[in-house]
Structure formats: structure tokens, C-alpha cells
Amino acid sequence: MTVSPEHFTQAIEIARRLKSEIDRAVIGQDNAIQSVLACFLAGGHVLLEGMPGLGKTLLVKALAKTFSGQFARIQFTPDLMPADLIGHAMFDIKSQNFTVRRGPIFTNLLLADEINRAPAKTQAALLEVMQERQATIEGESHQLEAPYMVLATQNPLEQEGTYPLPEAQLDRFLVKVLMDYPSAEEELALTRQVTNNRLGDGLDVSSVNTIIKPDTVITLQQIVAAVRVDEQVVDYAVRIVRATRDWPGIGIGAGPRGAIALIRLARAWALLDERDFVTPDDIKQSAYPVLRHRIAMTPEAELEGLDPDRLLRGLLEQLPAPRA
């Protein structure tokens, strides 16, 4: 697809406005907003990790409102079954027919809260939907409406009684975004905003304006896919991913899907940075959210108290940037 410079300019402007609209509702978490938006534009799925109450649901609701998309939230529990997600066929006595009841996954943005609390088969059902973008109910395939994005959350604490996602399934998430506590100033502003002339503590996205339609999002995603990537930049992404496979402290490196994900996210990142071409910096920035869940640390590194981001930082500092 060839995209004219005017379209790029429009896309950059829309992306900028999308971010500023989300910023109105979600205070702080700038990095998380940027990563989620980039992932949305790249057409991927997000794994969010953070403590409860950091604005994960608010972020998704705000994003959904910016393009008047549908939003659904599922709280994953140990007794959640695949049919609860996907839907099922039910016999209607009046019409003497089976009618299909679609599950909550038939939406634009799906917040899968605490995905690691559901058993493996429910997780697998969701991950299959994420990959195929369709669901099968009673042998009949149902396409999911585009744009479609799953935002699955994990709580870093309370690991007891959870079913950690296996590496192969983690690979299906384009990015893993870490949400940390906001700074003192941000928390002050957030508290003021939520408590000012407000009843209860419900999530309010009334300040967010709808600026595009779902169809525009699809066009936007197509424009992102056409962002120019130089050969040297692709080479850099591949070298990063390959380096993770024999880097000290990393037991299992990222697979080929890692490099693909790096390029996809870097394209969106470039657009958010108001450029129509990708630089090595976009790759470098994308490396943390894209690779942190695709690598497994060695036990020694874990005992040393290191984390994936620190290992990746060391790798990125030492790996030579592209030869221009």
C-alpha cells in the first residue's frame, strides 16, 4: 500500500489527538499510554502488569471512547470456562431452534482482567481468538469486528492459585507494559480530578471526545504498516533478537516473532513521534515492551535480583547501532 505524504500528515495528527484525548482521562502513566496506543495502532494485543487501581480499566475505556468503539471487561476467575468468553448455542423453546449467544469477546477492546487466574483451557481459548480474530461456536465461525485488541492484565503479586501464561502464549502479546505507581504530583492531580464534584469513585471518561470512527482506525493501522523501515533498521531489530539468545543472564531468548513484533511496534512508535520512517531509536524504545516477556532469565540472574529490563538495557547498550 502506497501512502501519500498528506495521508501520513493526517495520520500523525490523528495519533497525536488520540493521545491527548486519553491524557485527559488518565493522569500520569505516560509511558503506558504511549505503549498501549502504539500497540493499538500496530494492531497487536497488550499484556498489562501492575498493581490494582492504577487506571488500567480507565485507560481502555478512554481509548474505546476516542473511536466510539465497544468495550468489554471480563474478570478472569478459576471457574471461568471458554464458553463464558466465546459464547454458546442455546435452545429457544418458542422458535424450536438453537440460537447463538455471543460472549463478551465480541467487542472492539477487551479487558481481560487477571488473565492468569483462569485455567489453561480458558486462557488458550482467548489466545486462539487473539491469534485468529475469529471464534467458533457450535462449529460455526464468527469473525470479530475490527479493530480488535485484547488488553490482558496480570497482578505482579498474589501469585498463589494462578496459572502463569506459558512462554508460547506470552509470545502472542505484542507488548508487555508495566504500570507503576504515579508520581506524587500526578497522584495529587488524579485525586483532585476524581473527587472534584463527583459522586462515588466510578471511572469517568466524559471528558474524552470521540475523534474517529472504527473504520478510520483500520485505515490508521494500514498507514502504520506502511511506515518506511530501512534495511539497516530491520537488521538492527534482528540482531537484537538474536543477541537475546546467547546473552549472559538470559536463559531463553526471543523467537523470530520477536523481531517481527519489534518492527511492527517501532512503526507505530515512529508515527506517534510524528515521523513516517523508523529510526534505530524506535527499535531501541520498542525493545523493552516487546522483548521483556519474550525472554526468560537464568536462575543465577534471578538470584542476583536482576530483571528483564535491566538485562535488555545492558544488551542494547553494548550492541552496536546500525551502520548507516
Pick the binder of another protein from 21, 49, 84, 276 (CB under 8 A): 276
CB of residue 132 to another protein, shortest distance in Å: 34
Distance CA 35, CA 38 (A): 5
Which cell is 259 given? 523481531
Pick the binder of another protein from 253, 280, 289, 308 (CB under 8 A): 280
- Binders of another protein among residues 172 to 231 (CB under 8 A) are 228, 230
Cα three-residue angle 282-279-214, rounded to 5 degrees: 60
The verdict on 286 binding another protein (CB under 8 A) reads: no
The verdict on 30 binding another protein (CB under 8 A) reads: no
The verdict on 317 binding another protein (CB under 8 A) reads: yes
The DSSP bridge partners found for residue 48 are 153, 177
Distance CA 11, CA 4 (A): 11
The verdict on 233 binding another protein (CB under 8 A) reads: yes
Between 280 and 289, CB nearer to another protein:
280
- Cβ neighbour number for residue 139 with a 10 Å cutoff: 6
The verdict on 9 binding another protein (CB under 8 A) reads: no
Between 163 and 277, CB nearer to another protein:
277
Annotate each residue in 297-316 with x if it binds another protein (CB under 8 A) or - if it does not, as one string. ---x--xxx----------x
* Contact indicator for 196, 310 with CB cutoff of 8 Å: no
CB of residue 22 to another protein, shortest distance in Å: 24
CB of residue 296 to another protein, shortest distance in Å: 18
CB of residue 30 to another protein, shortest distance in Å: 16
Which cell is 242 given? 538474536
Between 54 and 266, CB nearer to another protein:
266
The verdict on 320 binding another protein (CB under 8 A) reads: yes
CB of residue 236 to another protein, shortest distance in Å: 9
The verdict on 279 binding another protein (CB under 8 A) reads: yes
Pick the binder of another protein from 96, 200, 246, 323 (CB under 8 A): 323
The DSSP bridge partners found for residue 152 are 47, 112
> Which amino acid, residue 72?
A
The verdict on 322 binding another protein (CB under 8 A) reads: yes
The verdict on 160 binding another protein (CB under 8 A) reads: no
The verdict on 235 binding another protein (CB under 8 A) reads: no
CB of residue 286 to another protein, shortest distance in Å: 12
- Write down the residue that cell numbers 498463589 correspond to: 160
Pick the binder of another protein from 1, 93, 199, 324 (CB under 8 A): 324
The verdict on 318 binding another protein (CB under 8 A) reads: yes
Report the interface residues with another protein, using CB under 8 A: 228, 230, 232-233, 275-281, 284, 300, 303-305, 316-324
